[in-house]
Chain A
Amino acid sequence: MPPVLELKGITKRFPGVLANDSIDLTLEEGQVVGLLGENGAGKSTLMNILYGLYNQDEGEIFVRGERAHIEEPNDAIALGIGMVHQHFMLVPVLTVTENVMLGMESTRRFGFLNRQVAARRIRDISDRYGLGVDPEAVIEDLPLGIQQRVEIIKLLYRSADILILDEPTAVLTPQEVSGLFEIIRSLVAQGKSVIFISHKLREVLEISNNIVVLRRGRVVGSTTPEESNERDLAAMMVGRDVILSVPKAAREPEQPVLRVENLYVRGDQDRMAVDGVTFEVWGGEIVGVAGVQGNGQTELVEVLTGLRKSDAGRVTVDGVDVTNAPPRKITEAGTAHIPEDRQRDGLVLAYPIMQNLILNTYYQPPIAKGIRIQEEPMRERAERLVNEYDVRTPSIFTPVGNLSGGNQQKVIVARELSNPVKLTIAAQPTRGLDVGSIEYIHTELVRKRDEGAAVFVVSAELDEVLSLADRILVMFEGRIMGIVPAKTATKEALGLMMAGIKSEGEATNKPDTRREA
């Protein structure tokens, strides 16, 4: 029996970039192929070609042994190929049934009767694959994990049997991820075939039958979970050995830079999101904030960077009182800010890289001269930073929205950390990034610390906080449950604090080296 899907020599060029370079890929019926690669490696391009959103410049696609011509998504759907995109394509105010029927309603006429039929089919599908979706539920009421299942139902409803899942775990909690994996297993057990796209090594190893690794538009390796491991895959992806933990030399903290005293901040729901917090971050140390999302970390960072007003308390940066100061004053006091949501807060996606790189300096010399923005210094600066910070882009005139997440983050890092700063505040600095970029950003943060800046990192990834920070501050319901040296911290102890159980050791408000001294 021929493979259910075969790609041969797929090539796709974009201006300045060869996105796919004669890629071969084979998917057997009832199997999962893991497609692994860094952001920008060409995974999404390849899948968009398969789904008909792009057309390949060269190469052929075979479906069940027959040569297929896929010009547009309808062709792909007709061939039984379905795709769940990273960003869901659901209408929030409609029900599951209505969303599933969208685009298919024209084939049948009598809305009322039909909806019942559709709902019954959806329930059947849901039961058969263990999806647990209520056809009558309204999309906006559903958590992201369930919305993703609705997307899967949409494909199954249209009788797709080749399912492409593009970065399906990026938006999911760990529990939801294991739920998704059960569904995938159930799907392949009943004859469906799945292409699972991810840059998360562990997930690919767990779910795939075969793994294909892409780098810079080429297939650099084909393997199976049995023959491989995380370290090998990471090396294949990045093209060299990757340091999975952050190396950093011991360093003596110098003096307090960020001082937060008795800070109270009201959140959006009018409750105290930050509830009386006092701490310091010293020059030459990294303080990491651990905590389950939604325990006041976001609000804390927003107040520290001037994006939100506090209700009480005092914040100073290097002795300058910046309590409730506008963002610019805080920046000028020597603060760099890598925001939590890089696309929403940190970048203007439509602007070219060059203009994004001056977001915090556009009004100062040498960029500005009077009210004029000078082209030459702006361009020089952009060329220099793109080189220094290894932003992969065709040119400095490329809109930032065209870059991969990792490169977007590098643009922010380049902008924020290229200036002499006393304090760096980084919120979720590596969320959604691939291994290479994570490594790079960690290195940069450590470099700032080694240069003597105070670094304040908020991350939802406990591993990241543990490996990066010198001290770890645990937040629970807006309060600090404890501040512990990273050297002595254990995951278990931190986990307890994150759950609101106070550790017996008292909070260390100063760097540990200092206390020992």
Chain B
Amino acid sequence: MRKHISMTLVMVLLFSLVLSACDLLPQPETDAFRVGMVTDVGGIDDRSFNATAWRGIEMAEEELNVEGDFLESTAQPDYAPNLTHYINQDYDLIVTVGFLLADDTRDFAEANPDFNFAIVDFAYDPPVENIRGLVFATDEAAFLAGYAAAAATQTGIVATFGGINIPPVSIFMVGFEHGVNYYNEQNGANVQVLGWDTAANTGVFVGNFDSTDDGRRVADEFLSEGADIIMPVAGPVGLGSAEAVQQAGNAWIIGVDTDWTVSAPEYDAIILTSVLKNMDIAVFDTIQMAAEPGFTTFGGETYLGTLENDGVGIADVAPGTITADVEAELDQIRQAIIDGEIDTGWAAYIGGLN
């Protein structure tokens, strides 16, 4: 046994030797614009939020002289060390994803005024000089999805649910409900919405953003109550719902954040449409802006993704589910929202909260 111990000691010794040697390993030198992204606790593979933002960096890598990198956070206290990493590595732009990173991003931005930051889904008030906030009028797109869903439902019942009742989630649900209500008004219909009530600020929330089991369970409940279209606003939780809908048949899922026919093609056949929150476009836009020669600071500006600038939108509605007339109506409504003629209900809702 003593032999084994000495063996182990020798191994440890060798290891530490190698260790000091590998400091000599050449660090890749590059003249590219380096972008680091710190994810939320959902991780890079969430097929939603973090993944979409990362898509924007990948797009920039393809089209611009950009090198991207990401660090996954597994808990709240991970944000700061991850930010520290990119600062130590002298990155040109640091993108953080999610409002939970807002405080850390601000603290680091203020402590490192030479660095530029962008944060997805948050805008500072008052703004911070070297951070670009990227926010999205998702209510506009969700309104269209609600209208389409109301037109497509066979049972007259549609449903939505969220991860946690926070504005980046409820904004989908408010827009969706108002879209359905608008359809009812315009067509004298009575399509019901399960899982969300803007007036009461209550709805169905699973309490997390990772349990596909919860997604399945909630979807099964909605289906048994007669709903045939479900919009899950809870990241990967929605994949569980898609699974449930696929098994049940005769029902549809509305994807969120990205086009699910692309990000989750296994559910292609049951995806009615997706509410696109084009974080990739916003991130790409930000990188393009910052990588411009002579760029110094964002000056505390906020990017707002809207239907107008394609920051938000809806994917093609599955063929055969709505009539050409409805398609045309959707185009009209889209324009009306851009022109400010139709109210998605969000401003009133969020105003009532704070």
Do A and B share a direct contact in the complex (Cβ within 8 angstroms)? Answer: no
Interface residues of B (CB under 8 A from A): none
Interface residues of A (CB under 8 A from B): none
